[in-house]
Structure 1
Amino acid sequence: MKGGILPAKRRWKGLVIAVLGLVLLSLLVPLVFLLGLHNGFHSSGYTTPQHSSASDDESTHVDDLMQRLEPTFPKDFGENIVVGKAENKTAGFPLLDGLPKERLGVNSTGVGDLAKAKQSTGVGDLAKAKQSTGVGDLAKKKQSTGVGDLGKKKQSTDVGSTPGATENIRDIDEGEKLCELKFGSYCLWRRNHKEKVNDFTVRKMKDLLYVARAYYPSIAKLPALDKLSHEMKQNIQDFERVLSVTTVDKDLPPLIDQKLPKMEAVIAQAKACRVDCSNVDKKFRQLVDLTEDEATFHMRQSAFLYQLAVQTMPKSHHCLSMRLTVEYFRDPPPDIDQSLAERHLNPDLHHFVIFSSNVLASSAVINSTVTHAKESENQVFHVVTDRQNYFAMKLWFSRNKYMEATVEVLNIEDHKLENNKASTSIHLSLPEEYRVSFHKVDGPPTTEYLSVFSHSHYLLPEIFPSLKKVVVLDDDIIVQRDLSVLWGINMDGKVNGAVQCCSVRLIQLQKLFADKRLDETSCAWMSGLNVIDLVRWKEQDISGRYLKLVTEMNSEEAVALRASLLAFQGELYALDDKWVLSGLGHNYGVDIETVKNARVLHYNGNMKPWLELGIRDYTVSWRKFLNQENQFLSDCNIN
């Protein structure tokens, strides 16, 4: 009998131990939840919007797109110089066929690199941000707003305290330039399009909700405050529900004035309770981290969308090109007269060359040039475009007359070049822009937008073999004076007459050119308005020199910039700086009177005049050369 009872007792003891273990676990699990150990930041008492995971996913998606749009320079490219390629000046349909790898250049340092902006929201940086909002830092911030500092601030706003005001202005300017380094001209555009926030009730609700969320987890853990916890939870949910569908005061429900005092009273009661300060501090840190992370993400996303907008052809311009193309095949223009064909080859006339895929931009350039010309009958314009826009331009310039000037439209893909293999197709490449920024040790950084020739420009001698001298115009310029005097300039045997940008010297770009020897006194030059001696070009074999430089450069980044600056070294004739006023596509600080008195306006930068993002004070000078009564413009809502 005893032998049979012992195994049963053992089994019974095993069951007792198992039951005790389950009871112990059942007690531990609620305890863990009550203490908040499962998650030191979140509380299960109410629902809060989870931004972190969504932001991480969207941030990863944006970063992938940025990396696809922007190539990177080698890590040892430079420490105090930032070079990035701006958008192609007249992008036809860049997003349909995929953007070229070098469309958006990125900066060699972390400050100006959009693609590297992801690092600013990494785990390590978030940890640093979290530490920066600790109790010690909060105490320092509190001290920084003491009576003495307030007195200093007050003094800085007095009329007589000029030094303080000057320092504040200088700090703002430096901050804007640093912002421009990081996000390009988006920061300038954002500053000028910033709307004044007047929805104070919505902002107050967000502030109260922020504080209530910080105190709620600590209140919910105290059994004696169940009534306050329930009331606080209810108010939080009411505020979340209202703010999820409302962003302005006029859309707030009518009874919102009764909810604000209730929330304020609940928060006052919560502050009066004795709670664990560390829990409140943790919650505040979490909210600060989420807010900073979300703000950084939206800033980067806005900058990315801005860059996308300035590179994409507007829908109205796409409509114009498509309608013109359809109309061309429906009612093709008559063949060109023999007399006009002879003018195209006559070297005694004034020939202008425009590489463009933008109908309106090319039309504005030609219209502004002939309007201010003393003898428009001597002017011949050659618009070089691609197959995609050839028929639209052909129809447009056949139906629109520009005084006595002659306009020829050429398809570069159909042009037969002597040195080009029959199997190799030639594609149009447009003038390229690069944002060059310099970090100064003793002052704010400087930023310039350099526009240079593209690969297609080095085919000029082969495209126009019978011509001796041409003036190359970019399609983002407007002419306000007669250009006939350019043909009388003696260029002292130089090939390229261009306006120099001496704020950027070649020696400053030494790291771009590795072992190439540069003249320390040479300045960078700009495309836009260039007088080209084609005879001298052929003698010096500028095209061959350029192709050799391109072949030697293994990396694809900034090839056009580096090769163009080196190909014309020693062959540049500096035009008077008064010829061209640059920066109208990115610089808000140009005086209006200066714009009116300039000979040629150059809209270099992201904010082209045909875009909605263009600087309105300067786009007026561009829009007045459009034919506002044209039926195609009205149909496509361009006006």
Structure 2
Amino acid sequence: MKQFRRCQRILILSLLSLSVLAPVFFVSHRLKNLASVGRKEFIEDLATIKYRRDDLRLKSIQQESGEGVKEPRLVVYKDKDQNSTVSYSSSEDIRDLEMSAIDGETTNALANRNETDNEKEQGDEQVQQIRISNVFQEKGQFNSQLREITEARMKETRDLLHNKEAHHDRNVHTQSQRVTDEKIREMKDQLIRAKAYLNFAPPGSNSHLVKELRLRIKEVERAVGERTKDSELSRSALQKMRHMEASLSKASAVYPDCSAMTVKLRAMAHTTEEQVRSQKKQATYLVHLAARTTPKGLHCLAMRLTSEYFALEPEERQLPSQQKLRNLHDPNLYHYVVFSDNILACAVVVSSTVSAAAEPKKIVFHVVTDSLNFPAISMWFILNPPGKATIQIQNIDSFDWLFTKYNNPLLKQESSDSRFTFQLNHLRFYLPEIFPALDKVVLFDHDVVVQKDLTGLWHLDMKGKVVGAVQTCLKGKSSYRRMDSFLNFSDPFVAKSFDINACTWAFGLNLFDLQEWRKQNLTALYHRYLQMGSERPLWMAGSLPLGWVTFYKKTVALDRRWHITGLGYESELISMEVERAAVLHFDGIMKPWLDIAIGKYKQYWNKFVKFDHPYLQQCNIHE
């Protein structure tokens, strides 16, 4: 019995020993290859992340383990470097870095595996655990850094795709804008060709082809109408376009003679060009006629005001009032001069200047007109006084000295050009004689609108010059003028006396130093040039070329913001320059009180016209 128990204990101990030693033996044998196997599994995990395309590559490297393995192009990670960083400059660099890292780790794994196969089967469990922990630590660091690279690359790819899509959308939008009228132009070309084929047919021909072409022409003309964009065309219009093309193909087969078609088309083009030239001449003539003709409403207004003026008692016609008479000769006030025969034009100049003035009570207006319009203009300002400002209306016939002291040739001219014979335009050269008590005056043309206060203009340093004006010699501007555009430099006197490259300037807003004018006796110089110009063609008719030669080298330039020109002929002026200008000048033939005025500028003039005035309403003068 005792022996049986002893054997039983020995058997149990043997089984216990076997159960302890067997795991140690098998585990130690498996741990010898654990490092290399772990690295292989780690690399395979990376291959799964990396586009699923490195499995074949790893297998091929494993099969060729006996051969040399290609080294990576860039060394990204080091075994002992726990803080290695990655830099990149493009998507291609990122791809190279990732492939280099994978290739490097694959090479190390295969090398370690080969060494492990040749090593002796020995080692302890502690060493194996350390190696396992290092492998998994390295694997975690590698995964985190690779994740950062992948996220950065994906972000850059998304940005690149977004930019490409935006650029593509812009290109498509631009291209669509360029071809919005392609079908329209093609249909118009079809009409020209069809009409040309109709001209080839014998007179009175009523063949099937002629009928078809006429029908197609009507259909296409109706389809095109006033449309300017392809998007406005209906689906039936495109179908009619295809039908027209089929008819044109039939016509080209019937009329194959290209030379005859060329002659016909040239004749049609020549006829059309002649019609266009004729229409342009007619339009130009009508525009100039409208510019020289007094509108019916203004004529009506003048007649009503004139009749009202003569209905007043003589003492009621006095302008200005007695208390303001002393202001007319006070040199310390701001004196503005206007020469005009237009009632509304004078009203707008006075109203806009007073409205924009910081001190209206210091403003004195001198309006000079002819005997025909003197009663009407006087009556307007009697009914509509300019507030605190002072106004004086003068008649040119009251200037007796103009006819006795000066033998002015313009009074004897019988030219059809009103610019030369219009006396009011040339009165500007007699300012010192008209206002003998004044030292400075500002001269307005009657086609201006004042937007800003002009007080600063009176404090301008004239530097010994006579006139201040805005220059018109800036190339690229609509107001650009050269001296030879008005002066005849083929004449020896003009070529010798004046520089063809001298800077020109404009009337419309001008500051005159009358004291300096009197010292230099420029009125006599004006008369000399006026007499010479009447004897031979030295310059064009009008007061502007005479102003250039009379005040040659006696002009000081004003800032362009004081005065902008061109609102009567140029429709493409910069809006910002128009808004900030102190004075707007409607020079040109498209005056703001005419129907031919440029619409977008007329608002600046209209806001100073009293359209609710009874006389204006009775004469049908409206915006």
The alpha-carbon deviation at position 483 of structure 1 amounts to 2.1
1:467 to 2:438 alignment: yes
Q: Which of these residues, 586, 598, 603, is aligned with residue 603 of structure 1?
A: 586
TM-score by length of 2: 0.57
Kept after mapping to 2: 8 A contact 1:220/1:229: no
Q: Of 298, 303, 306, which aligns to 2:284? A: 303
Which whole-Å CA distance do the structure 2 matches of 1:488 and 1:248 have between them? 61
Deviates more, 1:266-275 or 1:233-242: 233-242
Q: Which residue of 1 aligns with 2:531?
A: 551
**Residue 398 in 1 paired to residue 382 in 2?**
yes
Aligned to 1:612, which of 576, 595, 598?
Answer: 595
Deviations 1:213-270 (CA, angstroms, capped at 9, x unpaired): 533565439xxxx9x744456678889999999x9689xxxxx999999988765544
Distance in 2 between residues matched to 1:332 and 1:233, nearest whole Å: 80
| CA deviation after TM superposition for structure 1 residue 622, in Å | 2.1
Q: Normalized against structure 1, the TM-score is what?
A: 0.55
Matches of 1:286 and 1:366 in 2, distance apart? 57
Does the C-alpha gap of structure 1 residues 351 and 512 become closer, same or farther in structure 2, counting only changes over 3 Å? farther
Alignment equivalent of 2:489, drawn from 511, 515, 518: 511
Give the structure with the higher percent strand: 1
Match of 2:309 in 1: 328
1:215 aligns with 2:193: no
In the TM superposition, residue 291 of structure 1 has moved relative to its aligned partner by 1.9
Alpha-carbon contact 1:354-1:383 (below 8 Å) kept:
yes
Partners of 1:540 and 1:517 in 2: how far apart?
17
Contact 1:502 1:523 in 2 (8 A): yes
Q: Does 1:567 align with 2:550?
A: yes
1:372, CA displacement in angstroms? Answer: 2.0
Asked if 1:388 corresponds to 2:372, the answer is yes
Alignment of 1:486-505 (within 5 A): 486-503=457-474, 504=481
Instruction: Provide the rounded CA distance (Å) in 2 between the counterparts of 1:422 and 1:560.
Output: 17
Report Cα offsets for 1:17-57 as digits up to 9, x if no partner: xxxxxxxxxxxxxxxxxxxxxxxxxxxxxxxxxxxxxxxxx
- The answer to whether the 8 Å contact 1:219/1:270 transfers is no
Alignment of 1:484 with 2:458, yes or no, is no
Question: Aligned with 1:515: secondary structure?
Answer: helix
1:381 match: secondary structure = strand
1:592 maps to which of 575, 598, 602: 575
- Structure 1 residues 367 and 283: CA distance shift in structure 2, 3 A: same
Deviation at 1:400, TM superposition (A): 0.4
Question: In structure 2, what is the equivalent of residue 370 of structure 1?
Answer: 354
Alpha carbons of structure 1 residues 375 and 585: separation in structure 2 relative to 1, 3 Å? same
Whole-Å Cα distance in 2 between the matches of residues 535 and 303 of structure 1? Answer: 44
Query: Structure 2: how far apart are the matches of 1:398 and 1:380?
Result: 15
Q: 1:463 to 1:158 in 2, by over 3 A?
A: farther
Partner letter of residue 269 of structure 2? V
Do the aligned partners of 1:413 and 1:425 also contact (CA within 8 Å) in 2? no
1:471-511 alpha-carbon deviations (Å, 9 max, x no partner) = 11111222222223333334233221222223246488672
Deviation at 1:565, TM superposition (A): 0.9
Distance 2:546 2:410 in 1: 19
One-letter identity of the residue aligned with 1:283? K
Deviation at 1:533, TM superposition (A): 2.0
How many Å apart are 1:606 and its aligned residue? Answer: 3.4
CA contact (8 A) 2:317 2:382 kept: no
Q: Give the conservation status (yes or no) of the 8 Å contact 1:459–1:543.
A: yes
Aligned-partner Cα distance in 1 for 2:407–2:586: 37
Matched, 1:288 2:259: no
List gaps (5 residues or longer) in structure 1: 1-156, 170-195, 251-255, 435-452
Deviation at 1:617, TM superposition (A): 3.2
1:552-607 Cα shifts (integer Å, max 9, x gaps): 12127346333221111232232333322333333334333333322222233333
More relative contact order in 1 or in 2 (CA 8 Å, sep 6+)? Answer: 1
Native 8 Å contact 2:350 2:386 kept in 1: yes
AA of the residue aligned to 1:465: P
Aligned to 1:10: none
CA distance in structure 2 between the partners assigned to 1:353 and 1:428 by the alignment? 26
1:408 is displaced (CA, Å) by 1.4
Question: How far apart are the structure 2 equivalents of 1:407 and 1:428?
Answer: 32
Whether the 8 Å contact between 1:585 and 1:603 is mirrored in structure 2 is: yes
- From 298, 317, 324, the counterpart of 1:317: 298
- SS of 1:388's equivalent in the other structure is coil
How far does the alpha carbon of each residue in 1:504-527 deviate from its partner, in whole angstroms, 9 at most, with x for none?
A: 464886727633333577421221
1:543 offset after TM fit, Å?
1.0
Q: Is the Cα–Cα contact under 8 Å of residues 365 and 478 in structure 1 kept in the other structure? A: yes
Match of 2:563 among 580, 586, 595: 580
Change (3 A) 1:332 1:271: farther
Residue 400 (structure 2) pairs with residue 416 (structure 1): yes
| Superposed counterparts of 1:270-289, under 5 Å | 270-273=251-254, 276-289=257-270
Structure 2, unaligned runs of 5 or more: 1-167, 228-235, 475-480
Maintained 8 Å contact 2:452/2:583: yes
In structure 2, relative to structure 1, the CA distance for the partners of 1:287 and 1:332 (3 Å cut) is: farther
Taking only the aligned residue pairs, the percentage that are identical comes to 34
* CA drift at 1:277: 4.2
CA distance in 2, matches of 1:358, 1:559: 19
Tell which structure's C-alpha radius of gyration is larger: 2
